[in-house]
Every structure is written in structure tokens, then in C-alpha cells.
Structure 1
Amino acid sequence: MVEEHQMLCCEGEVADYIPELGKVDPSLLGVSVCTLDGEVVEAGDTSRPFTMQSISKVLALALALMDRGEDVVFDVVGMEPTGDPFNSIIKLETMNPRKPLNPMINAGAIAVTSLINGQTVNDKLGRLLQFVHELSGNTKISVNEKVARSEHETAHLNRALAHFMKEDGVLTGSIEDILALYFQQCGIEVTCLDLARIGAVLANEGKDIASGRQMMPVHVARICKTFMVTCGMYNASGEFAIHVGIPAKSGVSGGILGAVPFQLGIGVFGPSLDEKGNSVGGVSLLESISKRWDFSIF
């Protein structure tokens, strides 16, 4: 299946607006699947590490909900999908109240990241990394500093979003500190297997599949999966829900995190992106996987 869908990778382009991401081979495609009984199946370019980018928004949301609770989190970010691009500023200008529509667009993710507990940027990043380590079972996961620096140097629109939210009182504290954490969060480097294991925890209602430890409350796992369905694939989320039907979150590095409730987690990597920022080969591959094994939740 990977070989079949790899041919589609030539139809997209890598995210070269972040210079470090533009250096990746666009023909790469890999997938890892982790079942809830611990079985792992992999195919394609699964050993190639990549940064989480927007996939990290799911984990930052989970941690912020655990740290601050639903009332605080949803006071600064909404719960509704948007038909606009993930980095759009237009809804911030026109919505009332003027807060981001959901945690999966850039503005919402920046607001959510600002709520993670910790005294300093390093404290907050350390807690987020520890959370990723626990969910994935991989303590070697770290930040790709080159990618984080590349984002820091080119993220003018994200700065505009942050300043807009600061003006409206959605953000409090230092904008540069919040953005520094956000860029490093996006730069957390993983593999397909890491994502598949994280997806398995989400699929298992927040419980670790090996130890049985509750890594996040059931209601937090359910909130995250709901946002993955409604907003996880940028402004192609509705189409993805119809054709694939798996709770999923993509990132512009070409990664996709998937969670089939009570069955398995999936991690996909294919850096060639369509016009909406989703992996061309990855989305097509997930559609075939979902249809072949009837994984749609609908």
C-alpha cells in the first residue's frame, strides 16, 4: 500500500516557507500501526525522524486541560471548526468574543500553549517533553533546534496573531516567551512509531497500553479526539472525516497522528503536502487503510 501511494507524493510540495522543512526529500512515505495489545506493523520510510509541527497541538491541549481545567482553557479558545486556513487572522477580527475558534489553528494553539504550567519557558517545555516521553514510551525524543530556530526566524504571521490576541486580553505574559515555547513545541522530533504509540494511548481512552496507567483523564482523551475529527486536518477536516473517518491531526512536516478508538494508533510521514497543508501520500494511504479494514468511526 505504501508503494502504491508513494507515487502520489510528486503531486505536492514540501513546506519550504519554513526553510529547514524545505530540505526534506518529498518522495518519503511511511506508516506505523500500534494495536492496543502492543503489536506493531510498519512499512516504508518509518525510521526518518520529523518534527511534530501542528500535531503537537493535540498534546499541548491535553496538558493544558490537565493543568488548568476546561473552564480556563475554553475561556481563551473556542470549540468550533473553521473553514479558513490554519494561520488565518480573519476570524480573530470578526468573531465576538474575539478569541480563536479552536485549539487546532495556530492562534488557538498559541493561546493553549500559554496555559501550560511552569515558571519559565524551559520549565514548560520540560513538562511537555516529559508528557511526550510518557505517551510514546520514548525518552530520547527532543527538540530539533534547527527547525525551531528556522520557525522563529520566519514566523511573522504567528507573531501578528499573538500580538492581536495580546491586545484583546486572550494572551497574558510575555509574547516572546509564549512564542519561543510554541516554536520549540512544534520542533519536537518524532518517528512514525512514536506517533502510533501516542495514537494508541488516545485510542485507549488515555490509558497506556503496556502498563495500564492512566496517562490522561478519559474526558481529556475524548476532547482531543473530538477536535482531531472536527479540526485536525486543517480546512480539509470535513472531507477527511467523510473519506477516512479516523480522528487524526496533521502537521506541515508531513506527519499525521491517527487514533482508531479501542483499536489502534497510526503514525504516518509523507512530507509532500497538498494546498491545505496535509500530506498528499499520507492522506491517500490512510483512506485506503481505513476502507480496507473498516476503521471509520462513522
Structure 2
Amino acid sequence: MESLSKVFTLALAMEQHGPQKVLDKLGANATGQPFNSGLAVELTKGAPENPLVNAGAMSAVSLIDAKDKTDRWNKILNNLNVWADATLTVNEPVFKSEMETNQHNQALAMLMNSYNSFYGDTQEAVEIYTRQCSVDITVEQLAKMGAVLANGGKSPFNGRQLLNASYVPQVLAEMAIAGLYDGSGKWLYTVGVPAKSGVSGGMVAVVPGRYAIAVYSPPLDEAGNSVRAQQTIEYVANATQANLFLAK
């Protein structure tokens, strides 16, 4: 899943705490910097920016209410499972590899903690964040997860209300603000639908009340977004007049 997982941990935090606390603790502003930027943290002195860049996503993990590390991970994984209407698993070789090379994320977490913008143990949050990013998922499962957001937080597949319907606009707003990192503004300008990408090459877009679409294609642009996924979703969005800023 890589960064695609961030949306659904954000949704879990939103369901637990409500949109105002999420805004206060995690923010809703574009950084104007790459998704793993430490400069963005320094420039704002750790003020919450958004939960879809790495620093904010790790803060979101630390914000999840849980008894301990195991409980926190189980809640995050169970949440992914019900959204995907499937039993998802961690790709252990990917997790091991990323744990061996995630020193930058560890530094980001400690930097956020130094500004009191972290809400639990930094090493625990980094490990859980890395584990959630290492969850395997199919394109169909990802589309199902997007469909929950398109359907007002209710799964069309298992009938469960997974996110309070009144909180869905805030999750979609975060996707519009930072879902494609420093390419988010251009995407919103040209396509006009909330979307989220991951460096694995996956991407999901949501048209509220209508549909979700997921695409997988590994070649990435300079911002870390799938080139072909963007082209495919833009084509479908244009063909279906999905731009949210179009007068209907």
C-alpha cells in the first residue's frame, strides 16, 4: 500500500477523535515540499501540516487510541481489512527492507516529537507506520476502499458504516490538499477530484456519491506519483464529468 494506507489510518483517527481534534493535532495544509521533507517540519516549527505526508502520517499513527503497541497495530490492520472487505497481510520482506532503511522517517518522528507534535512513542509509531505501508493490496481491494468514501463512509460490500458520514468530507479534503504530495495542486486544478497515490505505483480517486477508481502502474513522476495512473484517472474523470468544480 505504501502511502495509500495513510488515508485509512487518518479515517480511523477521525472516527476515534472527530474532525476538530484531527485538524488541531494533524493539520490540513499543503507543505509545498516533498512528502518526506524535514524542512517542512522545521519551517513550521513542528506545527501540524497534514496527515498525508510522512511526518503527519506517523503522528496520525501515534494518535490512534490503543492499550499498547500490539493493540494499536491490530486496530490499524483491522480497519484496513474492513475497508477492503478482505483479509490483508503484511509483505514481510518489504517490511524488513523498509525497517532497515527508514532512518529518515525515524529522524522526522524525533523532530516532530521535539516540537510536541507527536502523541506517543516515536520508535513504536515509526515501526507501525512502516508495517502499515508494507501491507499488500490488490487494485480491486483498493477500489473497494475508495468506494466506501464515495458512499458516505458506508461499505457497499459489507454494509457497515465505517466512517461517520459527516467526517467523509474532511478526509476527502485532506486527499485534495496533499494526496499527490507537491503535485496535489496541479492535480486538483486539472482533474478536480480527491485522490491519493503511493510510491508503489498505486493510486485511488474518489468522486463523492458516484464512484471510486483505482489504478496500479509503477513508473513514477518526480513527485512520486504514478504517471499512467494519473493519465487513466484523468481520462475517466473527464469522460464522466467528475470534476467537483463543474456546475451540475
Coarse TM-score class (shorter-chain normalised): over 0.9
Name the counterpart of 1:7: none
The match for 1:241 among 184, 188, 203 is: 188
What is aligned with 1:153?
100
* TM score, norm. by length of structure 2: 0.94
Q: Which runs of 5+ in 1 are unaligned?
A: 1-51
Q: Distance in 2 between matches of 1:79 and 1:100?
A: 8
CA distance in 2, matches of 1:171, 1:226: 22
1:290 to partner: Cα distance:
1.2
Which one of the candidate residues 38, 41, 49 is aligned to 1:89?
Answer: 38
CA displacement 1:168-195 (0-9 Å, x = unmatched): 2212432211111000011111011011
Task: State, as a whole percentage, how many aligned pairs show the same letter.
Answer: 38
Matched-pair contact (CA < 8 Å) for 2:193–2:242: yes
Structure in which a larger fraction of residues adopt helix: 2
Distance, in Å, in 2 between the alignment partners of 1:211 and 1:158 is 35
Distance 1:73 1:293, change over 3 A: closer
Deviations 1:223-280 (A, max 9, x none): 1111111110110011111222221100000010111111111111111111100001
Counterpart for residue 54 of structure 2? 106
Give the corresponding residue for 2:77: 129
SS of 1:229's equivalent? helix
In the alignment, is the contact (CA less than 8 A) between 2:35 and 2:182 conserved in 1? yes
| Structure 2 Cα separation of the partners of residues 172 and 129 of structure 1 | 20
> Are the equivalent residues in 2 in contact too, given 1:91–1:100 (CA < 8 A)?
no
Structural mapping, 1:253-268, within 5 Å: 253-268=200-215
Alpha carbons 1:195, 1:265 under 8 Å: kept: no
Deviation at 1:211, TM superposition (A): 4.6
Distance between the aligned counterparts of 2:187 and 2:232, measured in 1? 12
- Separation in structure 1 between the aligned mates of residue 48 and residue 96 of structure 2, nearest angstrom: 25
Q: Which runs of 4+ in 1 moved over 4 A?
A: none
Structure 1 residue 106: Cα displacement: 0.6
Distance 1:116 1:172, change over 3 A: closer
1:75 to 24, 33, 39: 24
Q: Secondary structure at the match of 1:114?
A: helix
The alignment yields a C-alpha RMSD, in angstroms, of 1.5
Aligned residue for 1:257, secondary structure, equals strand
For 1:136, give the aligned amino acid: A
TM-score (norm 1): 0.78
Task: Give structure 2 stretches of 5+ with no counterpart.
Answer: none
SS in 2 for 1:190: coil
Q: Structure 2 matches for 1:20-31, cutoff 5 A?
A: none
Cα distance between partner residues in 1 of 2:142 and 2:73: 19
- Taking CA–CA contacts closer than 8 Å with sequence separation of 6 or more, which of the two structures ends up with the larger relative contact order? 1
Compare CA radii of gyration and give the structure with the larger one.
1
Structure 2 residue corresponding to 1:197, chosen from 141, 144, 148: 144
Q: Deviations over 1:51-106 (max 9, x none)?
A: x111111101110122233343333321111211111111221215x223111111
